[in-house]
Amino acid sequence: LYAAVPAADVLVNNLGIFGSRPPLEITDAEWKTYFDTNVLSAVRLIRHYLPGMTGQGWGRVLNIASDSAIVIPAEMIHYGMSK
């Protein structure tokens, strides 16, 4: 992505993965995948693009979340905690 789009004026973080699974069956690897994808992907993009926005004196970052951050379905606890 960075090679294809080295700079941006507006960054929209809208990536998210989800799945339905009983909470006690979610593995550590799945927890890590959800956190890496739903949280750290936005952090990494902001870390890359924000300095350019700041340097030019203008830019916007929009992070899209989910109502599952507030009302978390039991079978999607790993998704909800990352939103």
Q: What average pLDDT does range 9-15 have in this prediction?
A: 97
Catalytic residue status for 79: yes
Q: What average pLDDT does range 12-27 have in this prediction?
A: 93
pLDDT at 70: 87
Q: What average pLDDT does range 12-39 have in this prediction?
A: 94
**Whether 54 contacts 4, CB under 8 Å:** no
- Please give the mean pLDDT across all residues of the chain: 94
Residue 83 pLDDT more than 90?
Answer: no
Top-confidence residue, 59 or 67: 59
The reported pTM is 0.85
Cα dist from 49 to 3, 12, 14, 61, 74, whole Å? 12, 11, 15, 9, 35
Say which of 2, 34, 49, 79 is annotated catalytic.
79
